[in-house]
Structure 1
Amino acid sequence: MGLNVSDLTIARGGIKVLEGVSFTLRAGSAIVLRGPNGIGKTTLLRTVAGLQPPVDGRIEADPESLVYSGHADGIKATLTVAENLTFWAQVFGQADITNAIKAFQLERLASRPAGALSAGQKRRLGLARLLVTGRPIWVLDEPTVSLDVEAVGMFATAVRAHLATGGSALIATHIDLGLPEAELLDAGRFRARAAALDEFDEAFL
């Protein structure tokens, strides 16, 4: 199961930021999205994940195959680590959280309330949610924020394991994750042309 994006145009605040975006993400493969801050990487990922509509173009993928992880960790502070993962597993119709706990070395933290975790530990918990969704296509926006070198290694290992089982990943990151087989996609190639004055005015009408 894959993801195909064709001639996609996306906007932020009514202003086009990227246009003509086309790529194919196949099962077992990864695409690393690069580009300067503010160019539209987050907007592209949110659009691909179905969180906002595109201006134009096509996104072909089963919506039930996608899972998105953004800047928020998506955890409930009053629940323990294990309870958070159990909650998300149930949301996605899954049950087993063992692999997620192990992959991000959360065993010793399993009974600790999420609100008592450090920033890095919260990020590890947030990323561990990916493993309990059962969904094959991961759409990830700067997933290594707040992670130390060891935790980045955990994440990279989790991604490689996901790809090895036929999953795929679209990842916006400036960090080298040690995925030599990953395709690099430069968002700068798709920067939208500057709006003409009348187009700029229309965006605020």
Structure 2
Amino acid sequence: MSHKHYVYIMLSDTGTIFTNIIKKYTRAPYNHASLSFDPELREMYSFGRKNPKNPLNGGFVKENVFTGTFSRYRETTCVIYKLEVTDREVEKMKRILEIFIRNDNKFLYNILGVIGVSLKEPIEFSNSYFCSQFVAEVLRRSGIKLWDKLPVMVTPDDFRNNERLQLIYEGKLFDYEAIK
């Protein structure tokens, strides 16, 4: 019998001006979604700021709690979920991520897609994603179907409201025991 595998989905709020503007629209507590393969969140993947100081320069990002954007926002709040997956699903996810990692300069941040979600109108471009669209797309391409909607319509709040995800932590990111 194979042991259980999990992937981790972290939803976060850095409290920046940019996220506060988004929050006014979404009325959701967390507006950023990241995907990780380890509970310590050593490596997380998402679409977001390439440069912590510039919210408009976005794309595929490999996030690190201690060196990246998060390290600049010590008050970041988050919620962390685990999702049980099979060996094969993990393998597929890692293969899909390899493509993003190898071509990371070719991907753009889908800012219009974010606006599209709030207008209930899918706005998709090839090689262009926003954070929750990216996480939903990686899961979908790995055969994991959490919703009956397009990844481009998935918001961070959709993860919060999905019963397949098990809540493991909610609070300040830097108080999360596993990363200390």
Same fold (TM over 0.5): no
Q: Which has the larger radius of gyration?
A: 1
TM-score computed with the length of structure 1 as normaliser: 0.23
TM-score computed with the length of structure 2 as normaliser: 0.25
Higher relative contact order structure (alpha carbons within 8 Å, sequence separation ≥ 6): 1
Greater share of residues in strand: 2
